[in-house]
Amino acid sequence: MKNLHSHLIRMVPGLLIAVSPIVLADVTLPRLLGDGLILQRDTPNKVWGWADEGERITVKLDGKPMKSAVTSDGEWRVMLGKMPAGGPHKLEIIGNNQIQIEDIYFGEVWVASGQSNMQLPMERIKESYGGDIESADYPLIRMFTMPREYNFRQPQDDVDSGEWTAANPESVLDFSAVAFYFARELQQQLDVPIGIISSNFGGSPAESWMSEEALGAYPHYLDVARSYRDDEYLNGLLAADKEKEESWYRNADTLDSGLSGPVSWFDPSYDSSSWESINLPAFLEDQGIPPMNGVIWLKKDFTLPASDAGKAANLMLGRIVDADTTYVNGVEVGNTTYQYPPRRYEVKENLLREGLNTITVRLISNAGKGGFVKDKPYWIRIGDTTIDLTGTWRYRVGMVSESLEPPVFVRYKQPLGFYNAMLAPLLNLTIKGVIWYQGESNTDRPQEYANLFPAMIRDWRKQWGQGDFPFIFVQLANFMEPREKPVESMWAETRNAQLQALDEPNTAMVVTIDVGEWNDIHPLNKKTVGERLALAARDLAYGEHTLVSSGPLYESMKISGNRIVLEFNHRGSGLVARGDELHGFAIAGDDGKYVWAEAVIENDRVLVWSDRVEAPVKVRYAWADNPDMANLYNREGLPASPFQTDP
């Protein structure tokens, strides 16, 4: 698209004559520079694009000429002077052709990056935050969502799709939920337009967002990324992975007794009265079914009065591991191909009937413990009537298979690719800062992450060339089942690595160990996360330093007899225990064996001890995958970060 050339073809009877080429080198712009654009206020902004070599480009703002530029190496750049918040404005870019960008505002521009918890859209949390969606009329909160692509060859200068979209009840469903609540809170506080560039990819590790230059310090990752530049090699991996997966599912369909018999098991005429019983929600093997992968069919009956027959309904089946196809009275109402999305299926009119109705679920478990995840909603709602679907179901195994082998090439796990495709195209844009929610995909390597994550922050700042812009990140939420005794935890190690990243200048961290869900790596409470990010931004980026923007952070310790005295900063107006007593502390002596400890707050310090440890030397707080009992806060309601006193 940068340089377009054509040959003039002259028509002569019986001949086609090619004459001298005519250059059609239209000026082109990156997709980021489109209608509805938000540019950073009170600082110079770059306008850039491509044209023919030597072509002079003039830029006008609201009809007033700005600087001109001459295209060099196919590219041109013009700097706009500082502009205050507001709009709308119009840009004109004039070369061999003319382009207009309309409805431009100057305000605050933030990049929202990371993995799935930043990517997760408002649509996924609509049951919890329906009122916020219905009232989302914010024409000056705008989001540009980067297409989710990878590239291992070189940094890209543009993307194939994307546009600036204002928040309204329909569009906001596709907005990053964390970024929306961050933007909404900022706009309410600053009263300026807010632009968010949503550049994130579910499952991505930190190394996938680092440049080739930065990965030079991690040659094992760089070698992997470079290997994918061999198209034949990469296409071979992709083809083999695809065939392996398709073969597994073909085999499941072919051998499934529920589909291959004279009457399919979802058919209302099929007699399932002899099926065995199971209590759901639960993982199947926890209910006495031998560990298996393959297909299992599950049925649940419910009865309706004549007044509800024929009505439309909403069916909620929580989370199912791994995949499902769901039927109501023999008619398919929904299908989900992997474990994380909530099963929210619409039952159309005239499908439900008076008396007995049946829900049938064809569950596919491909690589682990299949089943219905506990503590999720399972019901069918017809008007004002809600029927609980937990309890006794009937089941029968359709087929048993070996596990589906994982793919060799998992696109969201690879180093370098997202930096090249999803970050590099942003680097000409002036931004205020970055909000970042990631780390889950690095929990198997927390010691490496302690170096890798700060290196990524430094890399972004170097590549952007804007100095140490604000970088605000979310510490991992609580997840998985609580443990009765103090144990080692990779998630706790990763949180500690994130805590250490605060040593980088102009950074802030949001603690979220009180808003997660034990049974879901994608907790629904994205509102609190976004608002805490905005609170941190008001302090770090906007100078509201009198705000209490962080929960307590461990500062130092002192041993006093059989007790350890802990000092904290970010105490706000004082330390408090949320609840009657302080919990979540563990203490150890020289043997390094941690036991649960007693803890009290005295004079804004925490005293920790245990009768089982006569000579304590170190303390841990909230050191678990799911530190559900940890309850140290400041009076402003912000939770303390997990920590350990030894390095």
d(CA 575, CA 636): 9
pLDDT of residue 368: 86
Segment among 154-158, 367-371, 380-384 with least mean pLDDT: 367-371
Q: Which helix (H) or strand (E) holds 405?
A: none
pLDDT beyond 70 at 495: yes
Check whether the bond before 308 is cis (ω within 30° of 0). Answer: no
Whether 618 is covered by a domain: the verdict is: yes
Tokens of 421: 């495709």
pLDDT of residue 533: 98
Strands 320-321 and 276-280: unpaired
Whether 227 is covered by a domain: the verdict is: no
Q: Which helix (H) or strand (E) holds 244?
A: helix 231-255
Query: Using an 8 Å Cβ cutoff, are 204 and 410 in contact?
Result: no
Classify residue 622 by its DSSP letter. Answer: S
Tell me which amino acid residue 452 is: L
Q: How many CB atoms lie within 10 A of CB 20?
A: 6
Query: Using an 8 Å Cβ cutoff, are 8 and 19 in contact?
Result: yes
Nearest alpha carbon to residue 209 among 197, 225, 196: 225
Distances 461 to 35, 327, 458 between C-alpha atoms, Å? 27, 51, 5
Nearest alpha carbon to residue 39 among 49, 30, 47, 48: 47
DSSP 447-484: HHHHHHHHHHHHHHHHHHTS-S--EEEEPPPP-S---S
Whether 275 is covered by a domain: the verdict is: yes
pLDDT of residue 182: 99
pLDDT of residue 105: 98
- Which residues, at least 6 apart from 368, have a Cβ–Cβ distance to it below 8 Å? 293, 321, 322, 403
- Which residues, at least 6 apart from 143, have a Cβ–Cβ distance to it below 8 Å? 164, 165, 167, 175, 176, 179, 180, 183, 195, 196, 197, 198
Query: Using an 8 Å Cβ cutoff, are 585 and 620 in contact?
Result: yes
Tokens of 522: 């994608």
Q: What are phi and psi of 511, to 5 degrees?
A: -90, 135
Whether 340 is covered by a domain: the verdict is: yes
pLDDT beyond 90 at 1: no
CATH number at residue 336: 2.60.120.260
pLDDT of residue 171: 98
More confident residue, 646 or 382: 382
Whether 316 is covered by a domain: the verdict is: yes
Using DSSP, state whether 93 is helix, strand or coil: strand
Tokens of 213: 């230059």
d(CA 550, CA 121): 25
pLDDT tens-place string over residues 158-174: 999 999 999 999 999 99
Confidence band for 215, pLDDT divided at 50, 70 and 90: very high
Number of residues in the chain: 647
> What domain range includes position 346?
255-401
Query: Using an 8 Å Cβ cutoff, are 568 and 555 in contact?
Result: yes
Q: Within 13 A of 326's CA, how many CA atoms are on the CB side? A: 23
d(CA 228, CA 13): 52
d(CA 526, CA 516): 9
Using DSSP, state whether 337 is helix, strand or coil: coil
Q: Please, which residues bridge with residue 111 across strands? A: 197, 434
pLDDT beyond 70 at 198: yes
pLDDT beyond 50 at 570: yes
Residue pointed to by tokens 């869900």: 517
State the Cα torsion 412-417-423-428 to the nearest 10°.
-170
Query: Residues 378, 380, 385, 390: is their CA dihedral positive or negative?
Result: negative
d(CA 639, CA 633): 4
Pick the last residue of a domain from 383, 401, 419: 401
pLDDT beyond 80 at 4: no
pLDDT beyond 70 at 13: no
Query: Using an 8 Å Cβ cutoff, are 87 and 192 in contact?
Result: no
Percent of the chain predicted with pLDDT > 90? 95
Pick the last residue of a domain from 372, 401, 430: 401
Distances 109 to 39, 105, 306 between C-alpha atoms, Å? 7, 11, 56
Classify residue 616 by its DSSP letter. Answer: -
Average pLDDT, the chain: 95
Q: How many CB atoms lie within 10 A of CB 151?
A: 17
d(CA 329, CA 69): 68
Distances 181 to 96, 178, 268, 533, 551 between C-alpha atoms, Å? 43, 5, 46, 9, 19
Pick the last residue of a domain from 380, 401, 422: 401
User: Average of pLDDT values for 86-110?
Assistant: 98
Using DSSP, state whether 299 is helix, strand or coil: strand
Check whether the bond before 281 is cis (ω within 30° of 0). Answer: yes
Whether 352 is covered by a domain: the verdict is: yes
| Sheet containing 595-596: order of strands | 595-596, 585-588, 618-621, 643-644
Classify residue 318 by its DSSP letter. Answer: -
pLDDT of residue 492: 98
pLDDT of residue 580: 85
Overall domain count for the chain? 2
Q: Within 13 A of 231's CA, how many CA atoms are on the CB side? A: 1
Nearest alpha carbon to residue 413 among 198, 116, 124, 160: 116
